[in-house]
Amino acid sequence: MSKNRVTRRQFLNYTLTGVGGFMAAGMLLPMVRFAVDPVLQKKGESDFIATNQKVADLTTEPTRVDYSFEQQDGWYSSEETGTAWVYKDENDKVVALSPVCKHLGCTVNWNGDKANENHFYCPCHGGLYTKDGTNVPGTPPIAALDVFPTKEVDGFLHLGKAEPR
Ligand code: FES
């Protein structure tokens, strides 16, 4: 007889340890996967957000474009909305400006003040911006409006993340 013979007690210990370990792994792996899932998620191919605005319909007059997108914050997903002021410049290039005032963050409107036609106007403290988003000296805003990168996909406007100039 071999000296390495496994006793019945050892056999039961090995078997129970193996089966127990297998079952524990089966319960723990989904939990671990759930805990780290947001970290493992691939980000989208692009950070551009689709809008319902047809590029062909844009004119030289700034148009308010509202859009919505899904925001993922860890495990929490929510529907967010945003706005851009969009027009075509004299070279037919699409310009998309953030509506967030660079003074204290109110929302600017195109032609929002009758006394200042063809300007973006912030009603909170009378901030003014020219059509290209430049802040008018002597009014509260300290910088130009942020600009969205844009692209056209199947005729529709897509907006990137607004950036300062
Ligand atoms: S927040 Fe726009 S002018 Fe103050």
pLDDT at position 45 is 53
Query: pLDDT (tens digit, 9 = 90+) per residue, 22-46?
Result: 999 999 888 887 777 766 666 555 6
Asked if 120 and 78 sit in the same domain, the reply is yes
Instruction: Name which of 78, 92, 84 is nearest 108 in CA terms.
Output: 84
Digitized pLDDT (tens) for each residue of the chain, 165 residues in all: 556 788 888 888 889 998 988 999 999 888 887 777 766 666 555 689 999 999 999 999 999 999 999 888 777 889 999 999 999 999 999 999 999 999 999 999 999 999 999 999 999 999 999 999 999 999 999 999 999 999 999 999 999 999 998
What is the per-residue pLDDT for 97? 98
DSSP annotation of 135 reads B
Q: In angstroms, what CA-CA distances link 39 with 32, 33, 48, 76, 93?
A: 12, 10, 21, 13, 38
In this structure, what CATH number is given to the domain that contains residue 104? 2.102.10.10
For residue 108, which atom of ligand 1 is closest to its CA?
Answer: 2
Number of domains within the chain: 2
* Same domain, yes or no: 36 and 98: no
Mutate to test the pocket of ligand 1, among 100, 103, 120 (most ligand atoms within 8 A of CB): 103
Based on the domain organization, do 36 and 77 belong to the same domain? no
pLDDT for residue 30: 81
112 within ligand 1 shell (Cβ under 6 A): no
118 Cβ neighbours under 8 A, 6+ residues apart: 111, 131
Q: How far is the CA of 99 from the centre of ligand 1 (A)?
A: 11
For residue 148, is it within any domain? yes
Does ligand 1 lie within 6 Å of residue 123's CB atom? no
- Determine, yes or no, domain membership for 96: yes
Per-residue model confidence (pLDDT) at position 53:
97
Residue at 91 is within a domain? yes
Question: Does residue 26 form part of some domain?
Answer: yes
Q: What is the pLDDT, as a whole number, of residue 4?
A: 74
pLDDT of residue 38: 64
From 113, 124, 128, 139, mutation site for ligand 1 pocket: most ligand atoms within 8 A of C-beta: 124
Answer yes or no: do 37 and 80 share one domain: no
Give me the domain span that covers residue 3: 1-41
Residue 130: inside a domain: yes
pLDDT at 55: 97
- Round to whole Å and give the CA distance between 142 and 148: 19
- Tell me whether residue 164 is in a domain: no
The Å distance, Cα 146 to ligand 1 centre, comes to 14
